[in-house]
Amino acid sequence: MTSIVTLSDGRNLAYEEYGDPQGTPVLSFHGCPSSRLDAAPAHPAALSLGIRLISPDRPGIGRSTYQPHRRLLDWPDDVAQLTEALGIERFAAMGWSSGGPYAAGCAARMKERVTNVALLSSAVPLDIYGTMRGLSSDDRILLFLVRRVPRLASALMRVTIADASDALLLRELRRSFPAVDRAVLTERGSPTDALVILREAMRQGTRGCLQDYRIFGDPWGFSLGEISAPVHIWEGTEDRTGPPEYRVFLKREIPHASVTVVPGEGHLSLLPHHAPAILSELVSQETVE
């Protein structure tokens, strides 16, 4: 069930809870275009491990109020208010794909509260990494359009995602992802069930997702070297959304980082197939001082 916290500026922040309501708190930050619902496959593992898994929608996505002029480092303040409202002092953070920067940002700005971080198929700060080479063609096109022709970017997102039929959208996803990811879409059930994460991302239209894409391409506003918590980097060998060099870069730039490369897994399949291992690692270590 979706819950809402009202923030100090009057915005609503929507979130979903999975796992054990009394368990060890872990916050999950979704990819783009995605929503709070993308943590659902981890529910059984979270329940088994005694983890309270909390997955918020970012502003303008799902049921969270749009925030004009949003930057990546606005997110830790939203997370601080959310966790304070829920009575949570310390927590682990997990970010998938373009949610990775938000988990890293919380770790950099909330050092005393973030105990561990998991970066799943994470994006990297493109300005520091130095190139967009290796990104999928879809991501490169959207990044270009969001910066140069935002109205065209919005129209493209409406046609290809928001207003596309289930059949067309599924066909496009199957074209874009490897066999293991296509299988995960089938595992989710009906086309409606498979696409609910994307549909929810566009509940308010395209501007929240377009803003997320702009932030994805912008400088992050902090150094990865500021992160003091242990960081666990997870990648699948079949993931084609970013090059293998991303994990090498992240491990080099983050002080206390480890890398797990999972044979045969892709972008969509990593969390559904390996949630027990990912979540176990998040709650098994204390913060590095």
Residue 288 belongs to some domain of the structure = no
Confidence of residue 288 (pLDDT cuts 50, 70, 90): very low
Residues sharing a CB contact under 8 Å with residue 251, sequence separation 6 or more, in sequence order: 233, 257, 258, 259
Model's pTM, two decimal places?
0.96
Mean pLDDT of 9-27: 98
Confidence of residue 136 (pLDDT cuts 50, 70, 90): confident
Confidence of residue 289 (pLDDT cuts 50, 70, 90): very low
Mean pLDDT of 24-47: 97
Residue 225 belongs to some domain of the structure = yes
Domain count, the chain: 1
**Residue 285's pLDDT is what?**
61
| Domain span holding position 176 | 2-282
Residue 252 belongs to some domain of the structure = yes
224-233 pLDDT per residue, tens: 999 999 999 9
CA-wise closest residue to 111 among 256, 215, 13, 14: 256
CA-wise closest residue to 287 among 170, 116, 128: 116
42-96 pLDDT per residue, tens: 999 999 999 999 999 999 999 999 999 999 999 999 999 999 999 999 999 999 9
Mean pLDDT of 183-211: 94
CA-wise closest residue to 138 among 175, 91, 164: 175
CATH number of residue 79's parent domain: 3.40.50.1820
> In angstroms, rounded to a whole number, what is the distance separating the alpha carbons of residues 110 and 161?
35
Residue 269 belongs to some domain of the structure = yes
Residue 287 belongs to some domain of the structure = no
> Both tokens of residue 163?
């207003």
Residue 222 belongs to some domain of the structure = yes
From 15-19, 109-113, 158-162, 262-266, the region with the lowest mean pLDDT: 158-162
Average pLDDT, the chain: 95
